[in-house]
């Protein structure tokens, strides 16, 4: 069974940093691109970024709203993806989901999400 | 970015009746070399993460009931729930994956 478990969310002050983790199991993690999507309370879904596999040079891509502030990485030996968030703003407050990109290029498995609150 | 616009924002449908959600992309998401529309639909029930329903505009994900169907091509797409069940109460999102990834704003489906 595919499982994605996010952790690391919490309360952080504006301008601060936070690093989220996504522990994967039940599939060949090293063979899958991984994405992060966020959802502010009562709002829609916003794609944050993606990291490809080693075969694709771990290439990353980011939404303009987070480019230069957020960094996605992965450790295939630990079956874990990460989202490093710096220079956080109040508008970054959201539930952050870790997602597997499936063979059909879509988001076929989602974690339960972790809440990040940016507030003073 | 390709902007995705859904309509309506919400709709209320009686149990057993048809629900139709529209999704329009600002530019075509049809890739001519393989004739595939890079359009997916997701369902998000209250308190849950989204769940993949349909990809390539009309291919149902494994395990998705056949009352869910997708249609359309190019810039205009539709998700149809042929006979609404209580468990279908959710917000539905379309997503393009032709160029990066963007979602529509969501359509909330409720029981009338």
Q: List pLDDT tens digits, range B5-24.
A: 999 999 999 999 999 999 99
Res B41: pLDDT: 98
User: Kind of pairing, strands A18-25 and A34-39?
Assistant: unpaired
Radius of gyration of chain B (CA): 13
Res B32: pLDDT: 94
Interface test with B, best of A35, A107, A109 (most B CBs within 10 A): A107
Q: Please state the φ and ψ torsions of residue A39, each to the nearest 5 degrees.
A: -145, 110
Task: Please give the average per-residue pLDDT across A68-89, as a whole number.
Answer: 98
Largest CA distance in chain B: 43
Tens digit of each residue's pLDDT (9 = 90 or more) over B53-66: 999 999 999 999 99
* A104–B106 CB contact, under 8 Å: no
**CA dihedral sign, ordered B60, B58, B1, A104:** positive
Task: Please give the average per-residue pLDDT across B42-63, as a whole number.
Answer: 97
DSSP states along B39-107: EEEEEE-TTS--EEEEETTTEEPTT--TTEEEEEETTEEEEEESS--GGG-EEEEEEE-SSS-EE---E
Tens digit of each residue's pLDDT (9 = 90 or more) over A8-51: 999 999 999 999 999 999 999 999 999 999 999 999 999 999 99
Res B112: pLDDT: 95
Which of B44, B52, B102 faces A106 most closely, judged by CB atoms?
B52
Q: Does A74 touch chain B (CB under 8 A)?
A: no
Rounded to the nearest angstrom, the minimum Cα separation between B83 and chain A is 24
User: Kind of pairing, strands B76-81 and B68-73?
Assistant: antiparallel
Residue A77 exposed, middle or buried by CB count within 10 Å (0-12, 13-18, 19+): exposed
CA triple A86-A91-A92, angle to 5 deg: 40
With beta carbons less than 8 A apart as the criterion, state whether B95 and B39 touch.
Answer: yes
Rounded to the nearest angstrom, the minimum Cα separation between B63 and chain A is 12
pLDDT band at B30 (very low <50, low <70, confident <90, very high): very high
pLDDT band at B67 (very low <50, low <70, confident <90, very high): very high
Q: Does A108 touch chain B (CB under 8 A)?
A: yes
Tokens of A95: 């539930």
B52-91 burial, b if ≥16 CB within 10 A, otherwise e? bbbbbbbebbeebeeebbbebeebebbbebeebeeebbbb
Res A1: pLDDT: 96
Res A95: pLDDT: 98
Q: Which of chain A's residues have a Cβ under 8 Å away from the Cβ of B44?
A: 45
Which of A45, A61, A102 faces B50 most closely, judged by CB atoms?
A45
Res B111: pLDDT: 97
Res B25: pLDDT: 98
Which of A61, A107, A111 faces B100 most closely, judged by CB atoms?
A61
pLDDT band at B81 (very low <50, low <70, confident <90, very high): very high
Which of B50, B56, B100 faces A104 most closely, judged by CB atoms?
B56
Average pLDDT of the residues of chain A: 97
Task: Please give the average per-residue pLDDT across A60-75, as a whole number.
Answer: 98
pLDDT band at B48 (very low <50, low <70, confident <90, very high): very high
Res A6: pLDDT: 98
Res A5: pLDDT: 98
Radius of gyration of chain A (CA): 14
């Amino acid at each position: 069974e595919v499982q994605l478990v996010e952790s690391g969310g919490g309360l952080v002050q504006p301008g601060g940093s936070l690093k989220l983790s996504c522990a994967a199991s039940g599939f060949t993690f090293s063979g899958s691109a991984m994405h992060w999507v966020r959802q502010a309370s009562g709002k829609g879904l916003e794609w944050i970024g993606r990291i490809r596999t080693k075969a694709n040079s771990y290439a990353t891509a980011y939404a303009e709203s987070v480019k230069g502030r957020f960094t996605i990485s992965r450790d295939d030996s630990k079956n874990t993806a990460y989202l490093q968030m710096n220079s956080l703003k109040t508008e970054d407050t959201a539930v952050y989901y870790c997602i597997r990109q499936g063979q059909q290029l879509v988001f076929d498995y989602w974690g339960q999400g972790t809440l990040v609150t940016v507030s003073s | 970015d390709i902007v995705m616009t859904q309509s309506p924002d919400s709709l209320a449908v009686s149990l057993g009746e048809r629900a139709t959600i529209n999704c329009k992309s600002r530019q075509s998401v049809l890739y001519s070399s393989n004739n595939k529309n890079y359009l997916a639909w997701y369902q998000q029930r209250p308190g849950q993460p989204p769940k993949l329903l349909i990809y390539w505009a009309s291919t149902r994900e494994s395990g998705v009931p056949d009352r869910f169907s997708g249609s359309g091509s190019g810039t205009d797409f539709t998700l149809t729930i042929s006979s609404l069940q209580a468990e279908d109460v959710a917000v539905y999102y379309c997503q393009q994956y032709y160029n990066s990834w963007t979602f529509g704003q969501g359509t909330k489906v409720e029981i009338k």
